Amino acid sequence: MSGLLSIGVRAMFANQAALQAVGQNIANANTPGYSRQSVVLTTPEGQFTGAGYFGKGVTIETVERAHNEFLTRQAYTTKAIAHMDSTRMSQLSQLEKIFPPGETGLGAAAGQFLNAMVDVSSRPSDPSARQVVMGRATEVAARFSSAGQQLVELQSGVVSDLKANVDVVNELSKQIAFANDQISRANGNGHTPNDLLDQRDKLVSELSKYIQVSTLPASDGTLGVFIGGGQRLVLGAQAQELSVTQDPYDSSRAALSISDSGGPRSLDESVLTGGSLSALLQYQNKDLQDARNLLGQMAAALASRVNGQQALGLDLSDPPGKGVPIFGFGQPRALPATTNARAPDGSFASNVSMTITNASQLQASAYRLESDLSGSGTYKLTRLSDGYTQNVADGDTVDGFKISFGATPPAPGDSYRLEPVAQAAVEMRRVLEQPTGIAAASPLTATTNVDNKGSATVNSIYAVNDRFDATKLPISLAFGDPDPANPAKLQYTLTLADGSVLNGTWAAGQNIGNEPNAVPPIDLGFEMSLNGVPRKDDTISLERTQFPATNNGNAKAFLNIQGEKFVGQRQRPDGSIAVGATINEAYSATMSEIGSRVQGATYLSSVSVAVAADAEQTRAGQAGVNLDEEAARLMQFQQGYQAAAKVLQAAQKLFDELLQMAAR
């Protein structure tokens, strides 16, 4: 009777335990991170008798949870990538708003400023026309400055987001380490603490939103959590802390570091391949910097081109003088690395400075200047936008700027981040105070001879570069016979004030005075264009401008700036200059670049979010609770419990009858 009673009791306990597990599953069917639990039942070794082995019922071995390590890791990884893509998409959407199309864009503002010179060219001395130009100049400078300031604010927002995310990561790491400690303590009894394991998996899943992790289980039940290609974040019950530190070159930018025995150690952005932290760093170091450089390149090129043309004309001051700059903009800066050698007073021992030599050749890029560790005195300059490297020395000119070393050149191991245009837009402003300062007049005036027989008249004449020399005035231009080599062209002679003579040929639509590619070259620093056709012996006199208030030559030159491709020119290895872009083309290209990045990030985000959702659904399908299945199991174990009770009832009845028989 005792064997039957024991089997019945064990069966009841086993089915009761199974019912308890089913009830736990049903209760947590909607609990995030909960894994389905089930009771593992085994049959104990049978008892040998002369009639064979008789069973001893059922034994409850343990309670296990439904868990698939591969699917869980897949869910972590895809979630990290999804959050990285969605974070970058969100950040880029904010960046896109700084470069609006249409009338509110920077290109339109620059065009309106240059178009305002039309009225000045029509009425050079009209104060109202000049005041309109001043207003347009203020507006274009304000738009560039506002866009630059918005980029600064976006950068500050990135640093704040990084700090907030790092705080969450550190807290999650501590909780994972605490869960590891609890699990290792509970693991000693031979059974797995399922609820603690679920809690830890949920914490790791939450952590993967911020930074991609890899995990490695240990024999004591703890889980090692690693980031950045193997850098430990949690090991056993110990958690390392992340921190936001300053960029080694720019204090306004942030870097991600991890605590170490020697202090914070910087983490390389390239090894952080998932999570919002990776997206924020990539956005800061790539997208924001590219936007700053593209914006600064346009600001520096436009301001320098306008100021350059302004300097070639005459204003309405008394006496008339060369035009002073209309725009001011942020100058290049060289940022030393914090690891550079220091002087005894704590200042940096070396110094590097830059000056702009040709703003039209400035590139939308930062540069890294490194000293040769061998101490040979050579320096490597890397253009960060495309990785192009070259060796430079003190005084060399690269991409439109000149590099200069101080009294103490960079020591071996020193490095600098050179930013020729990054600050140009944020500090752009109108510096011309008086409308009379607009240099609308050309420094030279052309007059046709009244006895000319041809129909040629002067359309425009103005200085185009600093090679214009007023001491060579007056200049006499005389046309001669058709060119024997090309009858469609007329020969002409320029006789300068010093008696020197220059010969050339002219064709319709050709400018005179600035022909560096002619044979022989003519480069007098001015351009004169004609309407009509001159005849032999026709002459034109070029003299100093006597009445700037009635001269519009330089104002016409301003009108031509809008169609010039002066943004982003590049010097080829053979010395020739690659054509750049107009200011409107440059702005359109910038909008296209930012827009394409937004579209790409949006697409990647939609794909990665869908992949992460599928991975989580697959994991939950294996580990989650299905209420239909649990209802079926509930009936199954309920019937088993009732059957076990019947066995116990039968055994008790037999035992009672046996007692009654023994009592007779």
Distances (CA, A) of 22 to 40, 78, 196, 376, 625: 13, 31, 18, 76, 10
Distance CA(531)–CA(6), nearest Å, equals: 120
CA-wise closest residue to 604 among 288, 282, 291: 282
pLDDT tier, 568 (very low <50, low <70, confident <90, very high otherwise): very high
Averaged pLDDT for residues 634-643: 92
Check whether the bond before 474 is cis (ω within 30° of 0).
yes
Place 651 in a pLDDT band, splitting at 50, 70 and 90.
confident
Which of 302, 380, 361 is CA-nearest to residue 569? 361
Task: Indicate the range of 167-176, 245-254, 642-651 predicted with least confidence.
Answer: 642-651
pLDDT bucket at 664, cuts 50 / 70 / 90? low
Gap between the Cα atoms of 652 and 241, Å rounded: 64
Q: For residue range 576-625, what is the model confidence (pLDDT) as tens digits? A: 888 899 999 999 999 999 999 999 999 999 999 999 999 999 998 889 89
Residue 1's pLDDT is 52
Q: Residue 566: what pLDDT? A: 93
Neighbours of 575 (CB within 10 A): 6
- The SS3 call for residue 532 is coil
Instruction: Label residue 301 by pLDDT band (50, 70, 90).
Output: very high
Q: Do residues 110 and 563 touch, judged by C-beta distance below 8 A? A: no
Q: What is the pTM of this model?
A: 0.88
Please write the tens of the pLDDT for every residue from 329-359. Answer: 999 999 999 989 898 888 898 899 999 999 9
Per-residue pLDDT reduced to its tens digit, 20-78: 999 999 999 998 889 999 999 898 887 777 777 787 888 888 899 998 999 999 999 99
What confidence score (pLDDT) does residue 656 get? Answer: 78
- Asked if residue 225 lies in contact with residue 233, where contact means CB atoms within 8 angstroms, the answer is yes
Q: What is the pLDDT of residues 372-427, one digit of tens each?
A: 766 566 799 999 999 999 989 889 999 999 999 988 888 888 899 999 999 999 99
pLDDT score, position 611: 95
Q: Is the pLDDT of residue 520 over 90?
A: no
pLDDT band of 661, cuts 50, 70, 90: confident
- Residue 253, both tokens: 């930018």
User: In the chain, where are the structural domains located?
Assistant: 2-66+624-663, 72-276, 286-430, 444-544
Helix (H, G, I), strand (E, B) or coil at 262: coil
The predicted pLDDT at position 586 comes to: 94
What's the pLDDT score for residue 376?
61
Compute how many other C-beta atoms are within 10 angstroms of the C-beta atom of residue 294.
Answer: 25
pLDDT tens for 246-290 read: 999 999 999 999 987 777 888 888 888 899 999 999 999 999 999
Percentage of the chain beyond pLDDT 70 is 99
**Which strands form 457-463's sheet, in the order they lie side by side?**
457-463, 522-531, 512-515
Q: Which of 24-33, 135-144, 187-196, 295-304 has the lowest mean pLDDT?
A: 187-196
**C-alpha pair distances (Å), 122 with each of 118, 129, 447, 548:** 6, 9, 19, 13
CB-based contact 381:401 (threshold 8 Å): no
pLDDT digits (tens, 9 = 90+) for 204-249: 999 999 999 999 999 888 999 999 878 899 999 999 999 999 999 9
Bridge partners of 266?
257
pLDDT (tens digit per residue) in 453-508: 999 999 999 999 888 888 899 999 999 999 888 888 899 999 999 899 999 999 98
Q: Which amino acid is at 487?
A: P
As a whole number of angstroms, the distance between CA 326 and CA 149 comes to 21
Distance in angstroms (rounded) separating the CA atoms of residues 311 and 462: 12
pLDDT score for 380? 92
Residues whose CB is less than 8 angstroms from the CB of residue 308 and which lie 6 or more positions away in sequence, other chains included: none
pLDDT recorded at residue 377: 66
Are the C-beta atoms of 570 and 399 separated by less than 8 Å? yes
Helix (H, G, I), strand (E, B) or coil at 180: helix
Query: Which tokens belong to 234?
Result: 């949690």
Average pLDDT, the chain: 91
